[in-house]
């Protein structure tokens, strides 16, 4: 599914399959409408005008016998980024799964598959955020791993880029063009893969992919991690693959900006 993910100019990726000629137009329409509603809610929240919709007694009672959320959201567990608040949504609107650094495991994937299969959500949002402590912690862990291995990650990251490599975390290994740096990243990827920490294995691989693309700032680490999380989700889940292929599901990536309260849209 990697053809559906692109990372151009550091601020855009697309994990959406779009074929308006296919039949489940209503699902695609629903996904667009849902995402638009969520972004409108975020605009209200960011400017201090949150309406806190559908959080009243009547809404609660209307949902006693079932839920029909339009969106699933996989986000970081960070206490500053609760999706329902920053999208100004209400009860029954969003099915949320949250882990530190929005990393994946079987429970996360199974929960999202449940949202798609049993609840019929047409939109899946993978939401990272600015100043992610989980990402920052893994950056520090990578520095320790590199130091212990006698590797200067900063120098590898700063290595001169040969020709105009396309910045694409999926295919970057083929484009980096620097064999010494490639060796360093091969070693680092092996060390990260052998870590006891699932956070280091997951976010660490994303950070290394970003560094290998000479994207060496925390903002880019966070963006690349969102892109790679979407890629991993699709690769690991037949249900999500089938949802995308049949136009019943749209996946978008986004990053919440703590400094402004706004959502940086990375896909869709």
Q: Which is nearer to Zn ion, 10 or 136 (CB)?
A: 136
Residue 137: is it exposed, middle or buried by C-beta count within 10 angstroms (0-12/13-18/19+)? middle
Q: Which is nearer to Zn ion, 78 or 231 (CB)?
A: 78
Residue for token pair 């006693």? 64
Residue 49: is it exposed, middle or buried by C-beta count within 10 angstroms (0-12/13-18/19+)? exposed
Binding residue for Zn ion, selected from 108, 116, 134, 209, defined by CB under 5 A: 134
Minimum distance between the CB of residue 47 and Zn ion, rounded to whole angstroms? 23
**Residues 49 to 108: which contact Zn ion by CB under 5 A?**
76, 78
Known binding residue 70? Answer is no
Known binding residue 47? Answer is no
Q: Which stretch binds Zn ion (CB under 5 A): 67-75, 119-127, 130-138, 217-225?
A: 130-138
| Cα-based distances in Å from 180 to 150, 151, 241, 266 | 14, 11, 36, 31
Binding residue for Zn ion, selected from 132, 146, 203, 227, defined by CB under 5 A: 132
Whether residue 212 contacts residue 178, with contact meaning beta carbons closer than 8 Å, is answered with: no
Q: Which is nearer to Zn ion, 94 or 249 (CB)?
A: 94
**Residues 194 to 213: which contact Zn ion by CB under 5 A?**
none
Dump the DSSP string for 227-253: HHHHHHHHHH-HHHHHHHHTTS-EEEE
Reading the block at residue 75, the tokens are 């986000």
Minimum distance between the CB of residue 82 and Zn ion, rounded to whole angstroms? 12
> What are the respective helix, strand and coil percentages of the chain, to the nearest 5?
50, 10, 40
Minimum distance between the CB of residue 201 and Zn ion, rounded to whole angstroms? 17
Residues forming the annotated binding site?
76, 78, 129, 132
Residues forming the annotated binding site for Zn(2+)?
76, 78, 129, 132
Residues engaged in binding Zn ion (CB under 5 A): 76, 78, 132, 134
């Amino acid at each position: 599914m990697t053809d559906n993910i692109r990372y151009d100019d550091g601020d855009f990726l697309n994990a959406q399959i779009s074929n308006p000629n296919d039949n489940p137009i209503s699902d695609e329409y629903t996904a667009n409408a849902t995402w638009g509603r969520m972004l409108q809610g975020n605009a209200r929240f960011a400017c201090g005008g949150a309406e806190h919709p559908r959080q009243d007694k009547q809404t609660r009672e209307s949902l006693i016998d079932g839920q029909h959320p339009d969106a699933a959201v996989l986000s970081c567990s960070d206490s500053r980024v609760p999706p329902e608040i920053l999208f100004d949504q209400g009860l029954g609107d969003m099915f949320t799964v949250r882990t530190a650094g929005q990393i994946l495991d079987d429970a996360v994937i199974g929960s999202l598959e449940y949202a798609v299969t049993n609840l019929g959500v047409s939109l899946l949002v993978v939401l990272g955020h600015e100043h992610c402590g989980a990402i920052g912690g893994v950056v520090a862990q990578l520095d320790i791993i590199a130091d212990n291995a006698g590797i200067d990650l900063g120098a590898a990251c700063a290595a001169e880029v040969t020709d105009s490599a396309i910045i694409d975390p999926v295919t970057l290994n083929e484009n980096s063009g620097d064999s010494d740096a490639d060796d360093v990243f091969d070693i680092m990827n092996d060390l990260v893969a052998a870590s006891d920490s699932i956070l280091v294995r997951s976010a660490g691989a994303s950070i290394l992919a970003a560094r290998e693309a000479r994207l060496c700032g925390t903002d880019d680490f966070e963006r690349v991690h969102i892109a790679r999380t979407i890629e991993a989700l699709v690769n690991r889940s037949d249900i999500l693959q089938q949802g995308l292929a049949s136009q019943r599901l749209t996946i978008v990536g986004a990053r919440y900006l703590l400094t402004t309260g706004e959502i940086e849209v990375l896909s869709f």
